[in-house]
Amino acid sequence: MKRRLFLMLAPALASLYGCSREEAAPSLKFEGVDLTGAPYARSFSLTDQDGRVRSLADFKGKVVVVFFGFTQCPDVCPTTLVELAQVKKDLGADGDRVQGVFITVDPERDTPELLKPYVQGFDPSFVALRGTPEQTRDVAKEFKVFYAKVPGSSSGTYTMDHTAASFIFDPLGRVRVFSRYGSGAQALASDIKALLNEAR
């Protein structure tokens, strides 16, 4: 009886096994560090330049590139945003499926009035997010991002040290890639294209 039952179920079991094997898509090869399945950088909840609370869920269906920085950054931040804006432009119609998100690590100076023209000067679609000092600390901890004040050359002034990298999320809102600063626009474009194609 058991043998007969097994023989009857065998084709169905084989079919199910085959489906599960096919559905398990091979992992993509990224130019950046593959973070697929990482137990951190899962989400954020911060206020944008227009006063709205935003989270990853707001950008579902898009590849989201998250970068931590500050508006008075002299090199790393503007270079990263320029590269992302160029990638979006080069993608043509697919550029509409890419969302840039800038999270300030300097909420003391980066007011909404400063953040809005700053990010939109690179691309009108870019979103800037700002939190309280406590919220900034918490989201940086969630993303394992380092940031710290560094005293300036004159009394009462300072700059910011911070992790110089972008986090790239797929259209389902899952973190997939850690893209180091200095990798260049071509590497960033390659990883974004891979995630856009995966979602087609």
* Backbone phi, psi, residue 32, to 5°: -85, -170
pTM of the model: 0.86
Say if residue 12's pLDDT is above 80.
no
Within-domain flag for 15? no
Is residue 76 within 8 A of residue 164, CB to CB? The reply is yes
Within-domain flag for 3? no
Give the chain's domain count: 1
* Backbone phi, psi, residue 84, to 5°: -65, -40
Within-domain flag for 9? no
Residue numbers of the domain that contains 41: 31-198
Read off the CATH number of the domain in which 193 is found. 3.40.30.10
Within-domain flag for 181? yes
Within-domain flag for 192? yes
Within-domain flag for 5? no
d(CA 95, CA 63): 10
- Which tens digits make up the pLDDT trace of 81-112? 999 999 999 999 999 999 999 999 999 999 99
User: Which of the four pLDDT bands, split at 50, 70 and 90, describes residue 192?
Assistant: very high
- Which tens digits make up the pLDDT trace of 39-72? 999 999 999 999 999 999 999 999 999 999 999 9
d(CA 127, CA 124): 8
Residue with tokens 């043509």: 92
